[in-house]
Structure 1
Amino acid sequence: MKLQVPRSSLKRSIFHKKRKELLSSLPKIEAKAVARYIRISPRKARAIANTIRGKSVEEAFQILAFSPKKAARIMEKVLKSAVANAENNFGLSVENLYVSECYVNDGPRMKRIWPRGRGRADIIQKRMSHITIVVRDRSKEDEYRKALEELEKKISSEE
């Protein structure tokens, strides 16, 4: 017995392929850097992440340079990586970049034993974080929006 694919799903897959091709033709305006399994509590790292979100890259570097927190040193490295990705991979200029997204997710936890009185033991959780920073080019955002609108019109007209 031969398995037959319904026509509707075949059309759908062709549509998605075309859409994917068209989306890849859009100009690249953002770059991303991720640091995973960093040995810092996500709560402490989020405090620093919240201070640089939405700021220009230069301003974010200034904030991180003058912050005495351990998380600031780590964020600075991730931000440098994101800026380098933007420059080298997508040819974006550093002057126009800003931190569009900056978030910290929980990583795994290392569990350690803390001896207590009367032979008991408590568990200490040493937390890890996954830090993600996305930088965008302000000057190309309008161009990107226009291209996206044109693309949506093109896709809707094909349906």
Structure 2
Amino acid sequence: MNAELAMASLEFMPNKGAKIISKVIASAVSNGGFEPQEVVVASCRVDAGPVLKRFLPRARGSASGIRKPTSHVFVEVAKAAKKED
């Protein structure tokens, strides 16, 4: 999908992660030194990252564990192939 179209469609989705992925695509485009119109999103994936382990105090001096997972977002952009008519 064209990067400009992908960012525009993700910007108006109601999902929480859509805006985050839109920002990551914009960052990948600018880091590559491209314009959004001339690149396509080659691949996009979200992998598990490290987990922060915390404790929550409970009754009678005990504690229960809290896991705060993080994630890695990978976006790969590539030059769009020119269509020859």
TM-score range, shorter chain: 0.7 to 0.9
Q: Secondary structure at the match of 2:76?
A: strand
| Residues 1:109 and 2:55 are matched in the alignment | no
Q: CA offsets per residue over residues 93-139 of structure 1, 9 Å max, x none?
A: 53242111111122211111122334322111111111111011231
Q: Per the alignment, do residues 76 and 93 of structure 1 end up closer, same or farther by CA in structure 2, a change over 3 Å counting?
A: closer
Find the counterpart in structure 1 of residue 73 from structure 2.
131
Q: Secondary structure at the match of 2:67?
A: strand
| Residues 1:69 and 2:11 are matched in the alignment | no
Which residue type is aligned with residue 3 of structure 2? V
Larger Rg: 1
**Higher strand residue share:** 2
Residue pair 2:42, 2:77 contacting (<8 A) in 1 also: yes
Find the counterpart in structure 1 of residue 27 from structure 2.
81
Q: TM-score, normalised by structure 2?
A: 0.75
Runs of 4+ in 1 over 3 A off after TM superposition: none
* Alignment RMSD (CA, Å): 2.1
Q: TM-score, normalised by structure 1?
A: 0.45
**Higher helix residue share:** 1
Measure, in 2, the Cα distance between the counterparts of 1:60 and 1:128.
24
Counterpart selection for 2:6 from 49, 60, 69: 60
Residue pair 2:40, 2:80 contacting (<8 A) in 1 also: yes
Instruction: Give 1:1-159 correspondences, 5 Å limit.
Output: 55-86=1-32, 88=33, 92-139=34-81
Measure, in 2, the Cα distance between the counterparts of 1:59 and 1:94.
9
Unpaired stretches in structure 1, ≥5 consecutive residues: 1-54, 141-159
Unpaired stretches in structure 2, ≥5 consecutive residues: none
Measure, in 2, the Cα distance between the counterparts of 1:71 and 1:97.
22
